[in-house]
A and B are shown apart, each in its own frame.
Chain A
Amino acid sequence: MIGFVLSLLTLSAFLCLFRIGSGPTPADRMVGIDILGILVVGFCALFAIITGRAFYLNIALAWGLLSFIGTTALAKHLEGKKFDE
């Protein structure tokens, strides 16, 4: 059952990688990176369930934070502004 869930999530991650590789515009690739960052949080939660160790959820929290900051910086870059305005 957990293996089936892991295979579903892996398929989702490969679909995201396809969009990152073949996006027609840069914004498409950024959307793929954002979605892949949220998927990794789900992966970390599943690893916490499988192994029974709580530190994978620390990784999930930190990954969510860094993914949010990265996506915001990419959006700012896409808008054509510098980071201090």
Chain B
Amino acid sequence: MSELAGKAIILIGALFNLFGCIGLIRLPDVYNRLQGATKCVTLGTCSILLGVLISSGINPMGLKSLAAMLFIVITAPTAAHALSRGAHKSGIPLWEGSVVDKYEEES
């Protein structure tokens, strides 16, 4: 039972990874790509690791998977935020259909 549940969660995670990477291809500028890809790929990879934890149970493999999951949840949004801040400060323009740029107004 837990084997089947783990495999289903792994499949959902892989689908989220694929959708995030399609967003990385299809979206128009750097900031949209970061937005779409980072959120989807973080959720997808965390759910693959959760599937490993569920299907293997509480043993060293499951606990290492839990540690990797917590680490990804903390670091992936931080890295994406640093990257978008650097891109904005280095003067990469927004897509021409963007309607608001709060960071430019406030700094």
Q: Which residues of A contact B (CB under 8 A)?
A: 1-2, 4-5, 8-9, 11-13, 15-16, 18-19, 25, 27-28, 30-32, 34-35, 38-39, 41-42, 45-46, 48-49, 54, 57-58, 60-61, 64-65, 67-68, 71-72, 74-80
Contacts and interface: CB of A to CB of B under 8 A. Distances in A.
A27 B87 contact: yes
Given A35-B20, A38-B42, A54-B60, A78 B87 contact: yes
Interface of B: 7, 10-11, 13-15, 17-18, 20-22, 24-25, 30, 33-34, 37-38, 41-42, 44-45, 48-49, 51-52, 55-56, 59-61, 64-65, 67-68, 71-72, 75-76, 78-80, 82-83, 85-87, 89-90, 92
Nearest to A41: B45
B10 A39 contact: no
Contacts, number: 154
